[in-house]
């Protein structure tokens, strides 16, 4: 049996961030999850040949190192990065049918 300084119940985004931060600062961490995959509400699944992404899909402030976005700050502490896709912040789409 291994000893852990922290046990995180649930592997949703909050649980994974908490576990990563604890591990980053030297704690031995165990993450427990009842589902077959981690991610909580942020996961993907396939049904009838279609693939669906679930959970958050839009974040702002991840590319600016001085951002106040808490997720950006977590990535900085963990020395991690993610690929981002720039978007036109003024992009609005109007369809003729309303």
pLDDT tens per residue across span 32-89: 999 888 888 787 888 999 988 877 666 777 777 788 888 888 888 888 887 877 766 6
> Which residues have CB under 8 Å from 11's CB, separation 6+?
19, 31, 32, 33, 35, 38, 39, 40
pTM exceeds 0.75, yes or no: no
């Amino acid at each position: 049996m291994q000893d852990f300084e922290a046990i995180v119940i649930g592997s949703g985004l909050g649980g994974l961030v908490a576990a990563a931060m604890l591990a980053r600062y030297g704690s031995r961490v165990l993450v427990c999850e009842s589902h077959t995959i981690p991610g909580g509400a942020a996961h993907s699944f396939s049904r009838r040949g279609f693939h669906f992404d679930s959970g958050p899909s839009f974040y702002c402030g991840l590319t600016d190192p001085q951002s106040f976005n808490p997720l950006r700050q977590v990535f900085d502490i963990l020395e991690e990065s993610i690929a981002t896709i720039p978007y036109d912040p003024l992009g609005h789409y109007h369809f003729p049918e309303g």
